[in-house]
Chain A
Amino acid sequence: MFSTVDPHHKTKRVSALERLLAKLLSYGTWIASFIVAIGIARAFVDANDVRLMKAGIGCLILLPMLRVLLMLFLFLRERDYRLAIAAALVLAIIVAGIVIGVHRGSAIAG
């Protein structure tokens, strides 16, 4: 079998960054989903207590931001400033969305 593989075109291995991103995203999803599940169980007991569920949902929304932050650090470390700027921009845009949401939330409450 190995004779069919051209030594000049061997497939590359999964990079450390790819492995790190994969781990962050899958473990993160598991943990956040677990918190949501506990929250649902809690709400079955006390319908008014949705704090844990809310925390789990918050974790799910934070997870992609964490992924971009990780990429930002790794691009900076590799001195790949163009992609680091792209990552910083993405983070800034997401934060801008959160700020808009906070303003609207307080406008509704007030």
Chain B
Amino acid sequence: MDAHFTIWLLGVSFGASMLGGMLGMASGIFIVPVLVIFGHIEIHRAIGASIVSVIACSCGGASSGLNARLTNFRLAIVLEVATTLGALTGVLLNGVVPIRFLILLFAAILFISAVQMLSKRRVSVKTPQAGCRWATRFDLHSTYPEPARGVDVEYKLERLPLGMSLMYGAGLISALLGIGSGVLKIPAMDTALRLPIKVSSATSNFMIGVTGAASAGAYFMQGAVVPSIAGPVALGSVVGALAGARVLLRVSGESLRLLFVIVLILLGVQMLLNGLNIHLF
């Protein structure tokens, strides 16, 4: 293990995670491209390291959502059946799919994320809904506190089967690329289930750890998680996420968002070139 390389790994994962934490989003999506493009790390090893850091950030950040009663843990465990099943499929595919396909898929996810960051998340309908009967059967409807009014707001879930299918896809992408795959979780939570945004963010973050464990367990046992890479990346990410959540925003959220979009597009272009065998770095 090279000390300079370790420090570099700690630094980049800390930086990516801190930026992510400032916007309240996961930074897993940056880790793999940075490791592949600038660290020249083989993509399977980069994915193995990234998924461990994704788990660490999810577990480390879970308590805030739980203590604020925003995490719907009943819904989480039901959706996790779908996400872990998707992750298991991703693990099986990961050994078969050509590396070039993984890199190009990653580029596509980076571009989709950039577009998603530019467009505003739609606010779910406030009027009380009938709710999906599957969700009623599992007693998944819940309430969340609205501190401004000092009351608990009731919400009901819609279209649980559609939400489950999208979550399966999110789990698959998560395992295949070593990311938390918020890209697919946000539409599933906002559009299919119609959850309030605060609830969907907290619940989605809560689920990422378990989803990640389904693929990380496999990658760890097969030797794709290299300790000298995964260790520094995980530690850097955890500390970075903590720092990011505490940092006082001196720049506006909007310009930070724009910076994120630019970084996502640049990494996407670089991954695309990499996938087409054009190397600039």
Binding site for B on A (CB under 8 A): 4-6, 9-12, 14, 17-19, 21-23, 25-26, 28-29, 32-33, 36-37, 39-40, 43-44, 47-48, 50, 53-54, 56-58, 60-65, 67-68, 71, 75, 80, 82-83, 86-87, 89-90, 93-98, 100-102, 104-105, 108-109
B215: interface (CB < 8 Å): yes
Across the interface, name the chain B residue whose C-beta is closest to A107. Answer: B222
**Any A CB within 8 A of the CB of B219:** yes
Cα A4 to Cα B146 with chains together (Å) = 13
| Chain A residue at minimum C-beta to C-beta distance from B230 | A57
Contact with A along B203-214 (1 / 0, CB 8 A): 000000110111
Complex Cα gap A6–B213 (Å): 43
Contact A29 B213 (CB under 8 A): no
In the complex where A9-B152, A36-B234, A93-B84 touch, is A21 in contact with B221 (Cβ < 8 A)?
Answer: no
Q: A-contacting residues of B (Cβ < 8 Å)?
A: 1-3, 6, 10, 52, 55-56, 58-60, 62-63, 66-67, 69, 71, 73-74, 77-78, 80-81, 84-85, 87-88, 91-92, 95, 137-139, 143, 145, 150-152, 209-210, 212-223, 225, 227-228, 230-232, 234-235, 238-239
A86 touching B81 in the complex, CB below 8 Å, given contacts A36-B231, A60-B56, A102-B221:
yes
Chain A CB within 10 Å, residue with most, of B1, B52, B67, B213: B213
- Chain B, Cβ-Cβ closest to A58: B220
